[in-house]
Structure 1
Amino acid sequence: MSRDLRICFVGDSFVAGAGDETALGWVGRVTASAWHRGVGLTAYNLGVRRDTSADLRRRAEAEVLARLLGAGDAQAVVFSFGANDCTLEDEMPRVPPEVTEENAAALLGWAAARWPVLMVGPPPLAHDAGHDARVAALSDRLGGLCAALDVPFLATHAPLSAGNAWRSAAARGDGVHPDAAGYAALAALVEAWQPWRDLTGG
């Protein structure tokens, strides 16, 4: 193994891999791929179902520090969230887009001052066209923020929307979360992403 790399994956149900019958999700798959490339990656999955950016802002600091503090210099944090912020409650998003952006700036800024940070954008929500449109708009907004903060951002919404694999995988699942094939498609995007390859040893 080339090094002992520890990464916290902070986010929502898509980070947790909800709905994947293989129990791997995309995080488990990219972790396995890193091992196959000779990188001893310890992945801390900090994905919680229904979590918004506001929830993450409340819990991320303590949870990440508990795992990375004093653990050497081969560490990083990967964030992925946004879908739950866009869920309507009483005809309003659970977190308005401008507040999501504030939360993301706080999370990314705090983490990036300490470790390498990446952000994976929210995937499509095939069950609800309105919700999906809000997620697409938020993904663009988060991409712009990451560019301003010099944090690498992987847009997953557009490439996953372009094909049928994610939509079919979600339809086989609960309508929102895909089965293993959907997570494999998302993992393939991450695995092919140059900032991820740079972080995990090429």
Structure 2
Amino acid sequence: MIRDLRICFVGDSFVAGTGDAAALGWVGRVTAAAWHRGEGFTAYNLGVRRDTSADLRRRAEAEILARLLGAGTAQAVVFSFGANDCTLEDDMPRVPPEVTEENAAALLGWAAARWPVLMVGPPPLAHDAAHDARVAALSVRLAALCDAMALPYLALHAPLSGGPAWRQAAARGDGVHPDAAGYAAIAALVEGWAPWRAMVAE
């Protein structure tokens, strides 16, 4: 029997692939790469611009269940969020880091009780050093949470911050979201991540 894998990718504009002229983002690229390897699956992109972890906590359950409940022979969920939580409104983060952690724990715990779950961390925010520092700190916090929950976490911030390519990709985009090359860089990190490869190859 052919394995019918369905994966929900739940998150924000970086999940949606905002700014990619190829309209693929990193989700489309890793999906295409899996098909090329003969490990095809159905990808549901549930990325929404400006969504915070609080927004995801309100909508994720219904949206995931609508796509995975009773569907296929295998299901999984990949979460990625955090950058919008760190955006300042009235000099305060839209979602304080401790609340982001609470929201993440609720989302991950609910999903992991039902399906295999992975989390991809937020990428750098090249347009604003202070915002980027908050994202870096949140990424560390989310990594620790996933470690405590025994769930795989892929940090994007540190590797993408290590060279000029991400900053240049964002500059060619809208300053926040990268162009196609930036999303290809994220996809390469996901593709090289053993938990992702294991998820799609099972």
**Same structural fold, with TM-score higher than 0.5 when normalized by the shorter chain:** yes
Post-superposition CA distance 1:82-112 (Å, at most 9, x none): 0000000000000000000000000000000
Farther-moved stretch of structure 1 (31-40 vs 131-140): 31-40
Deviation at 1:37, TM superposition (A): 1.0
CA displacement 1:29-76 (0-9 Å, x = unmatched): 000001011112100000000000000000000000000000134110
Q: Which residue of 1 aligns with 2:181?
A: 181
Letter in 1 for 2:106: A
Structure 1 unmatched ranges of 5 or more: none
Aligned to 1:101: 101
Q: List 4+ stretches of structure 1 deviating above 4 A.
A: none
CA contact (8 A) 2:25 2:183 kept: yes
Q: How far 1:2 moved relative to its partner?
A: 5.6
* Matches of 1:65 and 1:2, distance apart in 2: 22
CA distance in 2, matches of 1:165, 1:63: 34
Q: Which moved more, 1:3-12 or 1:45-54?
A: 3-12
- Letter of the aligned partner of 1:177 in structure 2? H
1:32 and 2:32 matched: yes
The residue number in structure 2 matching 1:154 is 154
What residue is the counterpart of 2:6 in the other structure? 6
Gaps of 5+ in 2: none
Match in the other structure for 1:67: 67
TM-score by length of 1: 0.98
Scaled by the length of structure 2, what TM-score is found? 0.98
Give yes or no for the alignment of 1:78 onto 2:67: no
C-alpha displacement of 1:164: 1.4
Q: How many residues align?
A: 202
Do the aligned residues in 1 keep the contact of 2:6 with 2:72 (CA within 8 Å)? no
Q: Distance in 1 between matches of 2:15 and 2:137?
A: 20
Check the 8 A contact 2:4/2:73 in 1, yes or no: no
Task: Provide the C-alpha distance between the structure 1 equivalents of 2:80 and 2:2, rounded to a whole number of angstroms.
Answer: 26
